[in-house]
Protein backbone atom coordinates (compact mmCIF):
# COMPACT_ATOMS: atom_id res chain seq x y z
CA UNK A 1 0.00 0.00 0.00
CA UNK A 2 1.46 3.40 -0.98
CA UNK A 3 1.50 6.53 1.17
CA UNK A 4 -1.53 8.00 -0.62
CA UNK A 5 -3.67 4.94 0.10
CA UNK A 6 -2.53 5.17 3.72
CA UNK A 7 -3.47 8.85 3.79
CA UNK A 8 -6.90 8.02 2.35
CA UNK A 9 -7.58 5.41 5.03
CA UNK A 10 -6.48 7.85 7.72
CA UNK A 11 -8.62 10.68 6.28
CA UNK A 12 -11.70 8.45 6.12
CA UNK A 13 -11.36 7.73 9.83
CA UNK A 14 -11.20 11.37 10.98
CA UNK A 15 -15.00 11.44 11.03
CA UNK A 16 -16.33 8.05 9.85
CA UNK A 17 -19.98 9.04 10.01
CA UNK A 18 -19.47 12.24 8.03
CA UNK A 19 -17.30 10.53 5.43
CA UNK A 20 -19.75 7.65 4.92
CA UNK A 21 -22.72 10.01 4.56
CA UNK A 22 -20.84 11.64 1.67
CA UNK A 23 -19.52 8.42 0.14
CA UNK A 24 -22.81 6.52 0.38
CA UNK A 25 -25.07 9.50 -0.27
CA UNK A 26 -28.68 8.44 -0.40
CA UNK A 27 -28.45 5.40 1.88
CA UNK A 28 -31.08 4.86 4.55
CA UNK A 29 -30.63 7.45 7.34
CA UNK A 30 -31.68 4.74 9.78
CA UNK A 31 -28.19 3.24 9.31
CA UNK A 32 -25.54 4.50 11.73
CA UNK A 33 -21.81 3.95 11.68
CA UNK A 34 -20.76 2.15 14.87
CA UNK A 35 -17.15 0.98 14.40
CA UNK A 36 -14.47 -0.25 12.01
CA UNK A 37 -14.46 -4.03 11.81
CA UNK A 38 -11.38 -6.26 11.80
CA UNK A 39 -10.24 -6.57 8.18
CA UNK A 40 -7.71 -9.39 8.40
CA UNK A 41 -9.22 -12.25 6.44
CA UNK A 42 -8.18 -15.87 6.63
CA UNK A 43 -6.09 -16.80 3.56
CA UNK A 44 -6.51 -19.95 1.55
CA UNK A 45 -3.72 -22.52 2.13
CA UNK A 46 -0.46 -21.30 0.62
CA UNK A 47 -1.74 -17.73 0.09
CA UNK A 48 -0.45 -14.62 1.86
CA UNK A 49 -2.61 -12.77 4.35
CA UNK A 50 -5.04 -10.36 2.74
CA UNK A 51 -6.39 -7.17 4.23
CA UNK A 52 -8.97 -4.89 2.63
CA UNK A 53 -8.63 -1.17 3.29
CA UNK A 54 -11.52 -0.52 5.67
CA UNK A 55 -14.71 -2.28 6.71
CA UNK A 56 -17.39 -0.14 8.33
CA UNK A 57 -20.15 -1.54 10.50
CA UNK A 58 -23.51 0.13 9.84
CA UNK A 59 -26.29 -0.68 12.28
CA UNK A 60 -29.99 0.22 11.82
CA UNK A 61 -31.01 2.46 14.71
CA UNK A 62 -34.49 0.93 14.59
CA UNK A 63 -33.06 -2.55 15.19
CA UNK A 64 -35.45 -3.94 12.57
CA UNK A 65 -32.77 -5.31 10.24
CA UNK A 66 -29.34 -6.94 10.52
CA UNK A 67 -26.21 -4.74 10.52
CA UNK A 68 -24.13 -4.16 7.41
CA UNK A 69 -20.42 -4.61 6.79
CA UNK A 70 -19.35 -2.10 4.12
CA UNK A 71 -15.97 -2.65 2.48
CA UNK A 72 -14.28 0.59 1.35
CA UNK A 73 -11.32 0.47 -1.02
CA UNK A 74 -9.11 3.36 -2.18
CA UNK A 75 -7.35 3.35 -5.55
CA UNK A 76 -4.49 5.61 -6.58
CA UNK A 77 -4.17 3.83 -9.91
CA UNK A 78 -6.67 1.73 -11.87
CA UNK A 79 -6.75 -1.91 -10.81
CA UNK A 80 -8.26 -4.18 -13.43
CA UNK A 81 -8.74 -6.87 -10.79
CA UNK A 82 -10.85 -4.65 -8.52
CA UNK A 83 -14.24 -5.91 -9.88
CA UNK A 84 -13.13 -9.42 -8.92
CA UNK A 85 -11.17 -8.72 -5.74
CA UNK A 86 -14.08 -6.93 -4.10
CA UNK A 87 -16.51 -9.86 -4.42
CA UNK A 88 -13.71 -12.06 -3.06
CA UNK A 89 -13.35 -9.77 -0.02
CA UNK A 90 -17.10 -9.79 0.50
CA UNK A 91 -17.27 -13.57 0.18
CA UNK A 92 -14.56 -14.06 2.76
CA UNK A 93 -16.03 -11.51 5.14
CA UNK A 94 -19.43 -13.12 4.69
CA UNK A 95 -17.96 -16.41 5.80
CA UNK A 96 -15.81 -15.11 8.64
CA UNK A 97 -17.52 -12.07 10.19
CA UNK A 98 -20.30 -12.63 12.69
CA UNK A 99 -22.35 -10.49 15.06
CA UNK A 100 -25.06 -10.98 17.61
CA UNK A 101 -25.12 -12.13 21.23
CA UNK A 102 -23.65 -15.53 20.36
CA UNK A 103 -21.39 -14.36 17.53
CA UNK A 104 -23.19 -16.54 14.98
CA UNK A 105 -25.20 -14.11 12.85
CA UNK A 106 -24.01 -13.02 9.40
CA UNK A 107 -23.69 -9.42 8.24
CA UNK A 108 -25.34 -7.96 5.18
CA UNK A 109 -22.59 -6.85 2.79
CA UNK A 110 -21.87 -3.80 0.63
CA UNK A 111 -18.81 -2.24 -1.02
CA UNK A 112 -17.54 1.14 -2.23
CA UNK A 113 -14.47 2.26 -4.17
CA UNK A 114 -12.88 5.72 -4.04
CA UNK A 115 -10.70 6.54 -7.05
CA UNK A 116 -8.19 9.20 -6.05
CA UNK A 117 -6.78 10.21 -9.44
CA UNK A 118 -8.62 8.44 -12.24
CA UNK A 119 -12.02 8.45 -13.90
CA UNK A 120 -13.96 5.93 -15.93
CA UNK A 121 -12.68 2.98 -13.90
CA UNK A 122 -14.96 -0.05 -14.11
CA UNK A 123 -15.58 -1.59 -10.70
CA UNK A 124 -18.85 -3.36 -11.43
CA UNK A 125 -19.51 -6.75 -13.01
CA UNK A 126 -22.48 -7.71 -15.16
CA UNK A 127 -22.44 -11.08 -16.91
CA UNK A 128 -25.45 -12.91 -18.33
CA UNK A 129 -25.08 -16.30 -19.98
CA UNK A 130 -26.71 -16.11 -23.44
CA UNK A 131 -29.97 -17.98 -23.75
CA UNK A 132 -33.44 -17.91 -22.33
CA UNK A 133 -33.38 -17.13 -18.59
CA UNK A 134 -29.61 -17.60 -18.49
CA UNK A 135 -27.70 -17.45 -15.19
CA UNK A 136 -26.57 -13.95 -14.20
CA UNK A 137 -23.64 -12.51 -12.26
CA UNK A 138 -24.08 -8.90 -11.19
CA UNK A 139 -22.03 -6.86 -8.75
CA UNK A 140 -22.30 -3.08 -8.38
CA UNK A 141 -20.38 -1.31 -5.61
CA UNK A 142 -20.63 2.43 -5.04
CA UNK A 143 -17.86 4.26 -6.91
CA UNK A 144 -16.61 7.79 -6.27
CA UNK A 145 -14.18 9.35 -8.73
CA UNK A 146 -12.75 12.41 -7.00
CA UNK A 147 -11.75 14.03 -10.31
CA UNK A 148 -15.47 14.16 -11.15
CA UNK A 149 -16.40 15.78 -7.83
CA UNK A 150 -16.60 19.58 -7.87
CA UNK A 151 -14.34 21.23 -5.30
CA UNK A 152 -16.49 24.38 -5.37
CA UNK A 153 -19.72 22.46 -4.74
CA UNK A 154 -18.10 20.40 -1.98
CA UNK A 155 -16.82 23.52 -0.23
CA UNK A 156 -20.25 25.13 -0.56
CA UNK A 157 -21.78 22.00 0.99
CA UNK A 158 -19.32 22.16 3.88
CA UNK A 159 -20.11 25.85 4.40
CA UNK A 160 -23.84 25.12 4.56
CA UNK A 161 -23.43 22.10 6.83
CA UNK A 162 -24.78 19.66 4.22
CA UNK A 163 -21.35 18.01 3.93
CA UNK A 164 -19.13 17.16 6.90
CA UNK A 165 -15.96 19.21 7.42
CA UNK A 166 -13.94 15.98 7.29
CA UNK A 167 -14.12 16.23 3.47
CA UNK A 168 -11.71 19.19 3.54
CA UNK A 169 -8.54 17.06 3.13
CA UNK A 170 -9.90 15.55 -0.10
CA UNK A 171 -10.46 18.88 -1.87
CA UNK A 172 -7.05 19.00 -3.65
CA UNK A 173 -7.99 15.80 -5.51
CA UNK A 174 -11.30 17.20 -6.75
CA UNK A 175 -12.12 19.06 -9.96
CA UNK A 176 -11.04 22.66 -9.39
CA UNK A 177 -9.17 21.80 -6.22
CA UNK A 178 -6.19 23.90 -7.28
CA UNK A 179 -7.98 27.16 -8.12
CA UNK A 180 -7.36 30.37 -6.18
CA UNK A 181 -11.01 30.47 -5.16
CA UNK A 182 -11.00 26.89 -3.84
CA UNK A 183 -7.81 27.39 -1.85
CA UNK A 184 -9.09 30.59 -0.25
CA UNK A 185 -12.45 29.02 0.64
CA UNK A 186 -10.74 25.90 2.00
CA UNK A 187 -8.67 28.00 4.38
CA UNK A 188 -11.68 30.06 5.44
CA UNK A 189 -13.58 26.90 6.34
CA UNK A 190 -10.68 25.05 7.98
CA UNK A 191 -9.23 27.94 10.00
CA UNK A 192 -11.98 28.03 12.66
CA UNK A 193 -11.36 24.40 13.68
CA UNK A 194 -10.67 24.57 17.42
CA UNK A 195 -9.33 21.03 17.76
CA UNK A 196 -5.61 21.63 17.21
CA UNK A 197 -4.83 18.04 16.27
CA UNK A 198 -7.72 17.82 13.82
CA UNK A 199 -6.77 21.17 12.30
CA UNK A 200 -3.23 19.89 11.80
CA UNK A 201 -4.55 16.70 10.18
CA UNK A 202 -6.63 18.70 7.71
CA UNK A 203 -3.54 20.58 6.57
CA UNK A 204 -1.20 17.59 6.51
CA UNK A 205 -3.58 15.39 4.54
CA UNK A 206 -4.50 18.15 2.10
CA UNK A 207 -0.82 18.76 1.38
CA UNK A 208 -0.21 15.06 0.81
CA UNK A 209 -3.16 14.77 -1.56
CA UNK A 210 -2.06 17.97 -3.32
CA UNK A 211 1.23 16.27 -4.10
CA UNK A 212 -0.65 13.38 -5.69
CA UNK A 213 -2.83 15.83 -7.66
CA UNK A 214 0.20 17.77 -8.94
CA UNK A 215 -0.63 21.04 -7.16
CA UNK A 216 1.61 20.82 -4.10
CA UNK A 217 3.21 24.24 -4.69
CA UNK A 218 -0.13 26.03 -4.53
CA UNK A 219 -1.18 24.20 -1.38
CA UNK A 220 2.23 24.53 0.28
CA UNK A 221 2.02 28.29 -0.16
CA UNK A 222 -1.50 28.33 1.27
CA UNK A 223 -0.42 26.26 4.29
CA UNK A 224 2.98 27.86 4.94
CA UNK A 225 1.65 29.34 8.21
CA UNK A 226 -0.35 26.21 9.10
CA UNK A 227 0.94 24.49 12.23
CA UNK A 228 1.05 20.77 11.41
CA UNK A 229 3.37 19.68 14.24
CA UNK A 230 0.52 17.91 16.03
CA UNK A 231 -0.57 15.92 13.00
CA UNK A 232 -0.23 12.18 13.62
CA UNK A 233 -0.17 11.40 9.92
CA UNK A 234 2.48 14.04 9.17
CA UNK A 235 4.61 12.73 12.03
CA UNK A 236 4.37 9.20 10.62
CA UNK A 237 5.29 10.37 7.11
CA UNK A 238 8.31 12.19 8.54
CA UNK A 239 9.32 9.05 10.43
CA UNK A 240 8.92 6.97 7.26
CA UNK A 241 11.16 9.42 5.42
CA UNK A 242 13.77 9.29 8.17
CA UNK A 243 13.75 5.49 8.18
CA UNK A 244 14.10 5.38 4.39
CA UNK A 245 17.01 7.84 4.47
CA UNK A 246 18.78 5.90 7.23
CA UNK A 247 18.43 2.61 5.37
CA UNK A 248 19.79 4.20 2.19
CA UNK A 249 22.79 5.71 4.03
CA UNK A 250 23.47 2.41 5.77
CA UNK A 251 23.48 0.38 2.55
CA UNK A 252 25.62 3.00 0.81
CA UNK A 253 28.17 2.97 3.66
CA UNK A 254 28.43 -0.82 3.53
CA UNK A 255 28.78 -0.88 -0.25
CA UNK A 256 31.56 1.76 -0.16
CA UNK A 257 33.46 0.12 2.69
CA UNK A 258 33.05 -3.48 1.53
CA UNK A 259 32.86 -3.63 -2.29
CA UNK A 260 31.51 -6.77 -3.86
CA UNK A 261 28.20 -8.63 -4.03
CA UNK A 262 25.78 -7.46 -1.35
CA UNK A 263 24.14 -10.41 0.46
CA UNK A 264 20.45 -10.52 -0.39
CA UNK A 265 19.57 -11.77 3.11
CA UNK A 266 21.38 -8.82 4.71
CA UNK A 267 19.63 -6.35 2.40
CA UNK A 268 16.27 -7.86 3.37
CA UNK A 269 17.17 -7.50 7.05
CA UNK A 270 18.06 -3.83 6.62
CA UNK A 271 14.95 -3.05 4.57
CA UNK A 272 12.68 -4.76 7.11
CA UNK A 273 14.00 -2.82 10.12
CA UNK A 274 11.73 0.08 11.16
CA UNK A 275 13.29 1.13 14.47
CA UNK A 276 15.08 4.44 13.86
CA UNK A 277 17.33 4.11 16.93
CA UNK A 278 18.42 0.63 15.89
CA UNK A 279 19.13 1.77 12.31
CA UNK A 280 21.25 4.60 13.73
CA UNK A 281 23.24 2.15 15.86
CA UNK A 282 23.71 -0.13 12.87
CA UNK A 283 25.09 2.81 10.89
CA UNK A 284 27.73 3.39 13.58
CA UNK A 285 28.56 -0.34 13.55
CA UNK A 286 28.99 -0.14 9.77
CA UNK A 287 31.54 2.65 10.17
CA UNK A 288 33.61 0.75 12.75
CA UNK A 289 33.44 -2.82 11.40
CA UNK A 290 36.51 -4.29 9.71
CA UNK A 291 34.48 -6.53 7.41
CA UNK A 292 30.95 -7.23 6.28
CA UNK A 293 30.99 -10.41 8.37
CA UNK A 294 31.91 -8.39 11.46
CA UNK A 295 29.06 -5.97 10.75
CA UNK A 296 26.58 -8.86 10.45
CA UNK A 297 27.86 -10.37 13.70
CA UNK A 298 27.55 -6.98 15.38
CA UNK A 299 23.90 -6.42 14.47
CA UNK A 300 23.01 -10.01 15.33
CA UNK A 301 24.50 -9.50 18.80
CA UNK A 302 21.69 -6.98 19.49
CA UNK A 303 19.00 -9.64 19.09
Q: Per-residue pLDDT tens for 51-73? A: 556 899 999 998 888 999 999 99
How far is Cα 210 from Cα 183, in angstroms, rounded to an integer? 11
What pLDDT is attached to residue 58? 96
Type and span of the H or E element at 252: helix 232-257
What would the pLDDT profile of 113-166 be if each residue is shown by its tens digit? 999 998 777 788 898 999 877 788 899 999 999 999 999 999 999 999 999 999
Type and span of the H or E element at 274: none
Q: What contacts 24+ positions apart, CB below 8 Å, involve 224-231?
A: 226/199, 226/200, 227/196, 227/199, 227/200, 227/203, 228/200, 228/203, 228/204, 229/200, 230/196, 230/197, 230/200, 231/197, 231/200, 231/201, 231/203, 231/204, 231/205
DSSP letter at 272 equals H
Q: Kindly report the average pLDDT of the chain as a whole number.
A: 87
How far is Cα 60 from Cα 185, in angstroms, rounded to an integer? 36
pLDDT band at 39 (very low <50, low <70, confident <90, very high): low
Residue 193: helix, strand or coil by DSSP? coil
What would the pLDDT profile of 257-288 be if each residue is shown by its tens digit? 988 888 888 888 888 888 888 888 898 888 88
Task: Describe the strand order of the beta sheet including 68-75 as a list of residue ranges.
Answer: 31-36, 54-60, 68-75, 108-115, 142-145
Query: Percent of the chain, pLDDT > 70?
Result: 90
Which of 169, 160, 58, 34 is CA-nearest to residue 111? Answer: 58
pTM equals 0.76
Phi, psi of 125 (to 5 degrees): -130, 135
Contact 254, 286 (CB under 8 A): yes
Amino acid sequence: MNVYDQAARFAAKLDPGGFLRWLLAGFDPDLTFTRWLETQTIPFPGEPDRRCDTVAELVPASGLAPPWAAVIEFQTRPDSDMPYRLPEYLGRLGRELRHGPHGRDRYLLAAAVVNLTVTGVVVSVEMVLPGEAGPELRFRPRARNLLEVSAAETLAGIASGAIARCLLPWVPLMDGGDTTESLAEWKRLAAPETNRRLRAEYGGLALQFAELAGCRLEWAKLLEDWNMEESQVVAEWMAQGERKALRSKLVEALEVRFPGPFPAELLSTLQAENDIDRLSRWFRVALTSASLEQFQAGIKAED
